[in-house]
Structure 1
Amino acid sequence: MKPQKEQITSLQITFMVTLFEIGSAPLFLLGSHAGQDAWMATAVGSLAGLPLLFLFFWIQSKAADRDWIGLLRSGFGPYIGSILGGTYSFYFAYQSMRNVRDLGELTKLILLPATPMFMTMLIFVMTGGYAVWKGIHVVFRLPEMLLPIVLFLYAMVIAVFFFLKVMDFNRLAPVMENGFWPIVQVAVPNLVSFPFGQTLVFLMFWSFWENKGIPVKQTLIGYLIVSLFLIFVNSVIVAVLSAPIASASEFPMLKAVHSLSSLRFVERLEILLSILLYVGLYMKMTVFFLCAARAMAFITKKTARFWTIPAGVVIFGASFIEQGYAQHFAIGLGPSLKVDVVFQVVVPMILICLLLLKGRKNRRAASGGTNK
């Protein structure tokens, strides 16, 4: 008896897009080089990422029943497509590793400074690996439980800022002090690559939607929620800290919360924020982990379960390559974003061209056959 294909619901897709894209983004001041216009840079990045998302929709529409690796093999051919698929597997593992390292560093900084970092990272990889082992349907159930809690608690944290009147929105002025073009330069391609271009991963999952076609509406709803949320969070960070202080801080949101530590009843509010960041980081790590395992499974004709442990070993081992968090931070918001452009934009654009050429050849062949 053929095993039933795993399926995910419309609600699960919307919730997963939202929670995945939030991820670790609130940890940083996105578009910090734009100063007080960081919120505008985030808005520009989300708008610039929207056409890219529609390109992903178009690619998926060419074969709604195939995932990203299957689409690569269809466009580039079995041999080159498999090589690219293997490369993407390592790319997904690399992205998962970045979140594992963020989780380890955050735990060491906030909660468990005396605990060896490798132990906390090992626990995160093992728990993520367990979810991957159980399959897509289990991973996509997690946001159904976690996202409402995450949004509620973020609302509570921001409400505290409002209640205590520590925000000064005059710090967001002057708007576009140096014009609009510098904001665009900050947003493109960096903010498109992180976090908005990472919607690429859903090409690995849209084919598992329980309905026919592509979940365009469900994905766009999640994308809109994330965009508005991140724009607002960036505004709050600058309003609390001011642009110079926020830009100079590694974790500006944590610094903003820590600024309330003199008030006894919110003395450990940073722990609550840390838990929220753990949820986002864990979800992102697990999704990339799942993509890495499934990519190798498709290429080798093995199961994703077979590749869960090898992928976990690679992710865990690679998380120690970077020497210290300063290097990890610099690479993540520097060279890594440039590499993302290749995987998120260049390869999909080449694939689109190949699929268009292939479609044109098929139409010509069909037309020639009809004329005969």
Structure 2
Amino acid sequence: MVILFEIGSTPLFLLGADAKQDSWLAMSAGAAAGFALLLLFLWLQQRLPEMELPEMLRFGFGRIAGTFFGIVYSCYFAYQSMRNVRDFGELTALTILQSTPMSITMLVFILIAAYAIWKGAEIIFRLPEILLPGLLFCYFLLIILFILMGNADIKRLTPVAENGLWPILQAALPEILSFPFGQMIVFLLLWPLWEKPGVPVKNTVWAYVGVSVFLIFMNALNLAILGPVLAGSFYLPFLESVRTLSSLRFIERLDILVTLMIFIGLFIKIVIWYYCAVEIAASLTRTSAKWWVFPLGALIYAASFIERNYTQHIAVGLGPSTRIDTIFQIAIPLILAVAAALRLQSSRSSA
């Protein structure tokens, strides 16, 4: 789930495009910063092993403030799910279902996600077991085709760090840290589902490292195929990279394959964000999660139409949204870790 969730729609975009040919270095810096953040999340989960995020918030901040932050986090997770629903609709309209209203495709997939959440976490966690092998095979196949066709030119990645490290760090923080690496915060609601005692630290760390290397490689591959100028000018540079394989006579419409690959990643993100929003709402109200599946699903679906077009959607996602992400992914967890550490130390002293 870590691998599939982190891949999501990430290869679709050229993250860190402001760093130009060094965007893969910006991706590396974002992954390193995200790893530090991951260690913070793991520390929280290890110190409070029986708690999910809502209980952690109440433990660290007190009942009233913790409940308030829980409500805000539920809204934030629903907002993130909405962003992926809109990505889903826009991508479908741009590629394979150009005559189908976007509202219909988004409704279909939000209903599928609602059904999966209604059935419970066990069903949700079976999805990566089925989907991930096929997804990785498709990426591997495309990479081999790029290499065989000679489309990638490593010279397009040079000169390395031409303007120093500062532009690279500016491109990485907070944009790439927030998306996708900081989104690991959802696992504060998923790690307690681990069937074995404790927290799956080793599994999580290896999965995170593996997917980080993969995303850095895909970023560099996009640059090597399109060059920094072209890659930075396209909304969906990976699709454009795949279209450079059009000279292949034995395979056609590879962009459809890429679209289906991105659908898998987007669907997992929709489901996980949606599931976490539902679980927090259920925890705060002490009711069954099923009571919240359809109300929150309706809210996510309705909110996906707020942005007027895809240009505005991308501008918000890579602009104001990253600043909001910084609050929820970095600031609040850091304060929570300090508050939890003080509470734990105080309880030990009194004992």
Please give the range of the TM-score, normalised by the shorter of the 2 chains. Answer: over 0.9
- Specify the code of the residue in structure 2 equivalent to 1:237: N
2:105 to 100, 103, 120: 120
SS at match of 2:334: helix
Is 1:187 the counterpart of 2:172 in the alignment? yes
**2:77–2:277: 8 Å Cα contact kept in structure 1?**
yes
CA distance in 1, matches of 2:249, 2:98: 22
* Aligned residue in 1 for 2:133: 148
Per-residue CA deviation, residues 284-321 of structure 1 (Å, 9 max, x unaligned), is: 11000100100100001111111100110011000000
- Which residue matches 1:170? 155
Shift of 1:260: 2.5
1:335 corresponds to which letter in structure 2? P
Which stretch shows the higher mean deviation, 243-252 or 68-77?
A: 68-77
In the TM superposition, 1:25-44 aligns within 5 A as: 25-44=10-29
Correspondence 1:83-102 to 2 at 5 A: 83-102=68-87
- Which ranges in structure 2 are unaligned for 5 or more consecutive residues? none
AA paired with 1:257?
V
307, 315, 323: which one aligns with 1:330: 315
1:237-316 matched pairs, under 5 angstroms: 237-316=222-301
Matched to 2:317, the amino acid is: G
- The alpha-carbon deviation at position 365 of structure 1 amounts to 2.2
1:43-102: CA deviations, max 9, x gaps?
111011111111101111222111111111111111111111111111000000000000
Per-residue deviation, 1:259: 2.4
- SS of the counterpart of 2:184? helix
Alpha-carbon separation, structure 1, partners of 2:251 and 2:212: 28
Structure number with larger C-alpha Rg? 1
What percentage of aligned pairs have identical amino acids? Answer: 49
Instruction: Show the counterpart of 2:7.
Output: 22
User: Given the alignment of the two structures, is residue 59 of structure 1 paired with residue 59 of structure 2, yes or no?
Assistant: no
Q: Report the number of matched residues.
A: 351
By how many angstroms is 1:360 displaced? Answer: 2.9
SS at match of 1:64: coil
- Specify the code of the residue in structure 2 equivalent to 1:56: F
Deviation, 1:334, is: 0.7
RMSD of aligned alpha carbons: 1.0
Structure 1 residue 222, shift from structure 2 partner = 1.1
Instruction: Tell me whether 217-226 or 271-280 shows the greater mean CA deviation.
Output: 217-226
Distance in 2, matches of 1:156 and 1:279, equals: 17
Flag structure 1 segments of 5+ consecutive residues without an equivalent: 1-15, 367-372
- Normalised by the length of structure 1, the TM-score is 0.93
Which amino acid in the other structure matches residue 206 of structure 2? I
CA distance, structure 1, for counterparts of residue 224 and residue 11 of structure 2: 15
The CA deviation string for residues 117-166 of structure 1, in whole angstroms up to 9 with x for no partner, is 00000001001111111111110110011111100001111111111111
Partner of 1:358, secondary structure, is: helix
What is the alpha-carbon distance in structure 2 between the residues aligned to residue 45 and residue 351 of structure 1? 22
Which amino acid in 2 is paired with 1:144?
A: E
Match of 1:160 in 2: 145
TM-superposed deviation, 1:262: 4.3
Q: Tell me the SS of whatever aligns to 1:111.
A: coil
Alignment correspondent of 1:75: 60
Q: Could you say what secondary structure the match of 2:100 adopts?
A: coil
